[in-house]
Chain A
């Protein structure tokens, strides 16, 4: 069955080949691929239109007797011969012989013969035959045994040649022809392609072959049976050698184990890389042929500059890590190299020594993760400036984190609520309902100041966040050494500057012209000037000893003009000197020895008394009391405080221990312009109102605060609120009717617009400390209060009625005063009439 089929298919193939030959323009790429067992199928292989390969030769006209075998040649567009070379070149003689037999055998030979012929020839000559594709097929070659190879090859080659001839004919027609002609392609269905054909090994019982197959099987069974004793078959056995086994034992070297550990972090990696870079640079510098003693090595200097300024500890650390024994001096200088960019030869030498140390240690490869930081290096690191700077920054950051809400309140910002902080569900009254109140923000306190009495507070004139606090005892009996601390808003934990002094500090003031100059007055009457830019403890000028170029060589005596008693107040005043000269700043101080002294620091520490406070005979109303038998200690009254008029810097007020307030002028140093009576005890503080030019406040040990007008000798208003000495007083810089005062037990904030009888806010510190000084903050709604335990507490003023506009401030105060005056009865002696002051105030 299969036989006939194959025959048929072969013939049909021939026909299709013929058609293809006749097809016009079919030579474009009609490639015939023969495939399948015994079946030759045409397959139109449509080459791409762009390929203009021409296949020349190959198929001659179907003259099977001719021996022409034109080899297939493939040409590309340029006419180059790109014919693939055959893998196997057939012997042309053999080919001819085979060729002659082709047709004769084709009808006689079984299709299977043909099949195998084709297969073998294909196998051999296939790939050289041009760009044909054919499927590789395998088949059982059982039937080939009986046939001779030559016949196969012949038949196959001839058919092959046939094909090639046919094709050549076709292409020759077209090769020279017009390639742009429209080509008609005839697509023909190819024959079925057999991929696999496994002949059956089973045959039906009732088929024709069954009998022959059965016979064969019987024959074979018989053969197997007869094999046993047959002479034709002999048994033979083989055995491999069994080698003798041998036992071999071996032990490896002991595998040692060690423990290592390290922490892997990004900065470690960065540092290491940096160190490596630096070494590379050092290597280059060193390798440039320079001797060690080369004076100027710009590379070295550059490499030291290149070190990241924020991480100057790197080479120190790298040195520490990389070696365990190093030249002390070498490493020390090497470290300092970073801090100063020196180009001295000594530095060069040491740096290269340092570099070579690193190299040496690298070679040893001694791995030690833990940095063998010797004591030398630790010390060096600790003292390095960069560490200090970094620590400083860290300290600021931590403080900022801790105090952020408070500081925000200080500045008046809204507090950013802490997300992580759980809100305590306390039923709080709304803040606005509470009326004016003080909110304690923080306090400047550190162990250094513990137990010291805060004597004075002074704001820096140019940086309103800096405050200088002077610590000194008020009592004579309890004197300790003094301390001045400059605190910054940003760090409530520790002062930025600390200056110690032998005596208690009783007065402080920052200079206006040079904001880094701080003047201090001491309990022993000394006056000193500090430069807060420096951190060392010495004042730049003081009058403890007369050593400032004064003529007399008596160094042990106190300088001329030094106060004999504690300096209670000190202030920088800008004075207009004369025409043509610029305004100079002078220091004014007042002390218990009754002198108001002006100091100038142009040459040395000169002083000049601008006033001596004389005692006035006490004038009790209606009675002149004679002081019989009472000896004066001095003719001067001790001065405790003063305040210069804000507009008119010639005039100032001075308060005395007697309770008098004197208005003085710098032009006269013996006479008072005016004396104000009212207080019956030492006046501790006088302050002009910053809004109204004629009004001032004073506070004293007689438990009262008095409001004065400079034209009236008696006070306009008196405020009594407690039975304690009022130590300090301060006007609010924002609101003309608000001021704060401290008495020993409480801080009080008064608002005259609301009430002249009682303080609006009163706070008693819970610590039981006595409050000694108060000051308003210039750039915030805050008050600073100092007490006798060394704490300076910052309170925020809340819910105060908004201050009036600038032009109305004076009005507000004015109206208060008017109303209070109106309610007073006119007094007889020593006062001007009521109407007069009212007229003046009406301006």
Chain B
């Protein structure tokens, strides 16, 4: 559970806009890459979670192969089976949570 960037915008409406990894068991470089990708996707598709998830999933498939799954949302619960060392669960933008895992 690390906080990577400490960028906090002074905008009072959106606090905690920096991405924060809540849980992850990936390698460090995979984790960083995945996190960057998620941030990019969410910023690009700020109001369309489906497209953001689609972008994340496709890119992860290309980069790390086989079958990735991505969930982007604000309120959900999940119970998943994932390959070991291939799960990332992070928060971004104050109220968006992204869960990415690999499982074929």
List A residues at the B interface (Cβ < 8 Å). Answer: 255-266, 269-270, 272-273, 276, 279-280, 322, 362, 365, 367, 369
Inter-chain contact A257/B73, CB cutoff 8 Å = no
Chain B 2-21 residues near chain A, CB threshold 8 A: 2-3, 6, 15-16, 20
Given A265-B75, A266-B74, check contact A260 B82 (CB 8 Å). yes
Given A256-B84, A257-B81, A259-B81, check contact A269 B76 (CB 8 Å). no
Question: What is the bound-complex CA distance between A265 and B6, given in angstroms?
Answer: 22
Inter-chain contact A273/B91, CB cutoff 8 Å = yes
Inter-chain contact B84/A322, CB cutoff 8 Å = no
Question: What is the bound-complex CA distance between A365 and B6, given in angstroms?
Answer: 20
Q: Which residues of B contact A257 (CB under 8 A)?
A: 81-84, 103
Most buried by A among B15, B22, B89, B103: B22
Question: What is the bound-complex CA distance between A515 and B4, given in angstroms?
Answer: 57
Inter-chain contact A362/B76, CB cutoff 8 Å = no
Closest residue of A by beta carbon distance from B6: A280
Q: Which residues of A contact B78 (CB under 8 A)?
A: 261-264
Q: Which residues of B contact A280 (CB under 8 A)?
A: 3, 6
| B76-104 interface bits toward A, Cβ cutoff 8 Å, 1 = contact, 0 = none | 11111111100101010011010100011
Given A266-B74, A270-B16, check contact A258 B95 (CB 8 Å). no
Inter-chain contact A272/B91, CB cutoff 8 Å = yes
Q: Is B25 an interface residue (CB 8 A)?
A: yes
Inter-chain contact A264/B77, CB cutoff 8 Å = yes
Inter-chain contact B79/A276, CB cutoff 8 Å = no
Question: What is the bound-complex CA distance between A220 and B6, given in angstroms?
Answer: 80
Question: What is the bound-complex CA distance between A265 and B97, given in angstroms?
Answer: 8
A selection of 23 A-B contacts at a CB cut-off of 8 Å is A255-B83, A256-B83, A257-B82, A257-B83, A259-B79, A259-B82, A260-B79, A260-B80, A260-B82, A262-B23, A263-B78, A264-B74, A264-B77, A264-B97, A265-B75, A266-B95, A270-B16, A273-B16, A273-B91, A279-B3, A280-B6, A322-B1, A365-B24
CB distance from B49 to the nearest CB of A (A): 12
Partner pick for B97 among A269, A365, A367, A369, CB 8 A cutoff: A269
Inter-chain contact B16/A264, CB cutoff 8 Å = no
The 3 closest A-B pairs by CB, nearest first: A261-B79, A263-B77, A273-B16
Most buried by B among A261, A269, A369: A269
Inter-chain contact B76/A263, CB cutoff 8 Å = yes
Q: Which residues of B contact A367 (CB under 8 A)?
A: 1, 23-25
Question: What is the bound-complex CA distance between A270 and B97, given in angstroms?
Answer: 11
Q: Which residues of A contact B6 (CB under 8 A)?
A: 280
Task: Determine chain B's interface SS by DSSP, over half rule.
Answer: strand
Q: Which residues of B contact A322 (CB under 8 A)?
A: 1
Inter-chain contact B89/A362, CB cutoff 8 Å = no
Q: Can you name 9 extra interface pairs (CB under 8 A) apart from A255-B83, A261-B80?
A: A255-B84, A259-B80, A261-B78, A261-B79, A262-B77, A262-B78, A264-B75, A269-B94, A367-B25
Question: What is the bound-complex CA distance between A322 and B80, given in angstroms?
Answer: 21
Inter-chain contact B82/A264, CB cutoff 8 Å = no
Inter-chain contact B91/A269, CB cutoff 8 Å = yes
Question: What is the bound-complex CA distance between A367 and B82, given in angstroms?
Answer: 14
CB distance from A616 to the nearest CB of B (A): 79
Given A260-B80, A273-B91, check contact A365 B25 (CB 8 Å). yes
CB distance from B88 to the nearest CB of A (A): 11
Q: Which residues of A contact B84 (CB under 8 A)?
A: 255-258
Inter-chain contact A365/B20, CB cutoff 8 Å = no
Closest residue of A by beta carbon distance from B73: A264
Q: Which residues of B contact A273 (CB under 8 A)?
A: 15-16, 20, 91, 94
Question: What is the bound-complex CA distance between A427 and B73, given in angstroms?
Answer: 50
Question: What is the bound-complex CA distance between A258 and B80, given in angstroms?
Answer: 8
Closest residue of A by beta carbon distance from B104: A255
| B50-77 interface bits toward A, Cβ cutoff 8 Å, 1 = contact, 0 = none | 0000000000000000000000011111
Question: What is the bound-complex CA distance between A273 and B75, given in angstroms?
Answer: 16
Inter-chain contact A276/B76, CB cutoff 8 Å = no
Inter-chain contact B89/A262, CB cutoff 8 Å = yes
Q: Which residues of B contact A365 (CB under 8 A)?
A: 1, 24-25
Most buried by A among B82, B91, B94: B91
Inter-chain contact B3/A276, CB cutoff 8 Å = yes
Question: What is the bound-complex CA distance between A265 and B76, given in angstroms?
Answer: 7
Question: What is the bound-complex CA distance between A279 and B103, given in angstroms?
Answer: 34
Most buried by B among A258, A259, A270: A258
CB distance from A358 to the nearest CB of B (A): 9
Inter-chain contact B2/A362, CB cutoff 8 Å = yes
Closest residue of B by beta carbon distance from A363: B2
Inter-chain contact A258/B76, CB cutoff 8 Å = no
Q: Which residues of A contact B82 (CB under 8 A)?
A: 257-260
Inter-chain contact B74/A258, CB cutoff 8 Å = no
Inter-chain contact A269/B1, CB cutoff 8 Å = no
Q: Which residues of A contact B91 (CB under 8 A)?
A: 269, 272-273
Q: Which residues of B contact A269 (CB under 8 A)?
A: 16, 91, 94-95, 97
Closest residue of A by beta carbon distance from B71: A264
Inter-chain contact A362/B1, CB cutoff 8 Å = yes
| B28-44 interface bits toward A, Cβ cutoff 8 Å, 1 = contact, 0 = none | 00000000000000000
Question: What is the bound-complex CA distance between A613 and B94, given in angstroms?
Answer: 77
Closest residue of B by beta carbon distance from A321: B1
Closest residue of A by beta carbon distance from B99: A264
Q: Which residues of B contact A259 (CB under 8 A)?
A: 79-82
